[in-house]
Structure 1
Amino acid sequence: MLAIIVAVLVTVWAAAAIYFDSPFGSLRTVVAILYLVTMLTALSFLRRGHMGMMIAFAGFVIVLIAWLSIKPSNDRNWEPDNAKTAFAEINGDHVTIHNFRNCDYRTEKDYTCQWEVRSFDLANLRGADLFITWWGSPWIAHPIVSFDFGEQGHVAMSIETRNEVGQSYSAIRGFFRQYTLIYIVSDERDVIRLRTNYRKDEEVHIFRTTASPPLVRKIFLDYLQRVNSLHERPEWYNALTDNCTTNIAVTTAEARNIRMRLDWRILLNGKMDEMLYERGAIVTGGLPLSALREQAHINAAARGADQSPDFSKIIREGRVGFANNTLSSER
């Protein structure tokens, strides 16, 4: 019975992979339906000697091999805010980031992007903050890590899908080979203000992490290695295994030289703040989680700050963890 259940599940996945990722064009729906009907028929009527299951698993393997052969590319007709990928040069404590995104928005869809070169001194790296954006379901959110370089400013990194012109994100398509992965390295007035001031129904919260500067440095450099890797060798985004939250969890675990702690809230990341609260990974100020989340809400402050050069300072004023940037022991 367990084998039959698994066979049905992989058959449904394979049919969906044919529908979303196959090269059959207008025939993909017909081919996907034919595949699904054929495999389910085999499972239903060829049960003697488990022939039906063998056919279903063989079909899955063939589709999987073909699916894995689909290669991502950096050479496509990208949306203007995805037109370039960042890369970094590291020389001792000096870091130069190329294609640092700084978009000026008039509306969510009407904007002008500047691709800048910015330099930072790792000796100035004080800590890391975590922005979490909720919209719609409380179970799903989008995290953005921002690295605090004091007077040199903040480096916000948002792990997203790199959309082609006319393409938008779909949760279902995110499980297939529809989107390439991109690490957007940007100014907070770009990637945060987009979500607080221009997109509808997105609620953004900021939390100060308890990571020490030495740990934050390791995480930042790991991020840059990933940024450089994706600049040279594109990868597919996957909503289950290679997304905004799993990449943060993997990078943090690697920086701490530990095995990543599995937790269902890494996948249902709308509960990420709860997980971090329990682990002591964010500054709480002694508040219960509900109160901490309430005071961390920055939409009103961000709208007030808007294009101010002090945007990053204003959205942090009076919030837990931002009275000063002195951090304690490494976690």
Structure 2
Amino acid sequence: MLLLICLSLLILLGTLWGSLALAYQWPLPGPRLAAVAWCLVGLGALWWLWQGGPRWGWVGYGLLWVLLLGWWLSLAPSNDRDWAPDVAQMLSGEVDGDRVTLHQVRDFRWQDREAGEPRWESREYDLSRLASVDLLIANWGLPLISHVMVTFGFDDGDFLTFSVEIRRERHEAFSSLAGFFKQYELSIVAAAERDLVGVRTNHRGERVSLYRIEMSPRARRDLLLSYVAEANALHETPRFYHTITANCTTIVYAMMRRIVDGLPMDYRLLLTGRLADYVHAVAGLMPGYSLAELKARADITEAARAAGDSPDFSRRIRQGVPGWE
């Protein structure tokens, strides 16, 4: 009986996964019909299991699984689709000593949550002037789930923000569930801070917190170069976004593990609403403050809304943030 129950659970899980995979990715007309058909296959397998049907039935079921997995593995990411305007271009960069040249840096002027005046630029940065790293956490209402970005500051007052995002097509909207099923490609966006932060606070109704990070000059440099290398890799070889294994936090964590020895894995890397707690626990936030005080002073939402498209946006949102007084 225990064996029957375990096999039934496996069939049910396989039926659920296969139905969702077909619902999101079946290329022919009728993806919902394909999903329903797979549900019927699963229910038929359960009935066959409990009725003790002949073994030849399992051969047919196995062949159907081979076909499904073969189709699933054949799905490949692409850099050639009808992309949404804010991810229409792909970041790439060149490094020459201390000089980094980035192509397709975004600096949109946003009119609403989806529409902005497109601006894509090539910009040069001097790594010898790299002076700071900040963690940005944007929350849209779910306490435990947030979007994570990283900003690099230079001693001339310039700031550059990186965001690991879905590269969605023009007709697509974000869905965490769809992110499990090869719905989106992975994208690294480099942009002006007033673009990536401003669109969230001023047009999408999100709350954004900013934390200055304690990092050595060498680690700051290595992290920025890791972003450039990752962007170049995606430019050459597209990759699917995945809600757990390839998202805005796990990609950055993988880069950081190559820079900081012994950086622990932690559940808060997935429950990103608590990411600041994790960074504080590994001594990554500004010393001399309690976590509660850091969180209370990190909220830059109202400052960003007041700053709008001001040229000194980055300076204004940092007023009162520990490490930026």
Q: TM-score, with normalisation over the residues of structure 2?
A: 0.91
- Kept in 2, the 8 Å contact 1:95–1:119? The answer is yes
Counterpart in the other structure of 2:317: 315
Structure 1 partner of 2:247: 243
Distance 1:248 1:46, change over 3 A: same
Pick which of 65-74 and 185-194 moved more. 65-74
Q: Superposition pairs for residues 1-331 of structure 1, below 5 Å? A: 1-25=5-29, 27-46=30-49, 48=52, 59-151=64-156, 153-200=158-205, 202-258=206-262, 261-287=264-290, 289-323=291-325
SS in structure 2 at match of 1:286: coil
Pairs aligned (count): 319
Moved more, 307-316 or 39-48: 39-48
- CA–CA distance in 1 between the matches of 2:38 and 2:65? 10
- The one-letter amino acid of 1:216's match is R
* Aligned counterparts of 1:80 and 1:16: Cα–Cα separation in 2: 28
CA contact (8 A) 2:22 2:35 kept: yes
> Any unmatched runs of 5+ in structure 1?
324-331
Distance 2:287 2:64 in 1: 52
SS of the counterpart of 1:255?
Answer: coil
Name structure 2 gaps, 5 residues minimum. none
Tell me, what secondary structure is at the counterpart of 2:323? coil
Secondary structure, in 3 states, of the residue corresponding to 2:69? Answer: helix
Deviation per CA, 1:221-249, whole angstroms, max 9, x where unpaired? Answer: 11111101111221111112111111111
Q: Name the SS of the counterpart of 1:123 in structure 2.
A: helix
Percent identity (aligned): 34
1:54 Cα offset (Å): 7.3
Match of 1:329?
Answer: none
Cα distance, 1:248–1:24 mapped onto 2, change above 3 Å: same
Kindly provide the amino acid, as one letter, of the partner of residue 225 in structure 2.
Answer: L
Deviation of 1:257 (Å)? 4.7
Cα deviation digits, residues 26-79 of structure 1 (max 9, x gap): x22122111122123213322549957776666445323311211122111112
- What secondary structure sits across from 2:108 in the alignment? strand
Deviation of 1:171 (Å): 1.6
Letter paired with 2:36:
I
Q: Deviations over 1:78-121 (max 9, x none)?
A: 12211111100101111000101000112223311211111111
Query: CA-to-partner distance for each residue in 1:160-212, whole Å, 9 max, x for gaps?
Result: 11122121111211111111111010000111111111112x10000011121
Distance 1:55 1:248 in 2: 43
Relative distance call for 1:49 and 1:220 in structure 2 (3 A) is farther
Tell me, what secondary structure is at the counterpart of 2:197?
helix
Larger mean Cα displacement after TM superposition, 144-153 or 181-190: 144-153
Corresponding residue SS for 1:46: helix
Contact 1:162/1:181 (CA < 8 Å) preserved in 2?
yes
Give the CA RMSD over aligned residues: 2.1
- 2:274 partner amino acid: K
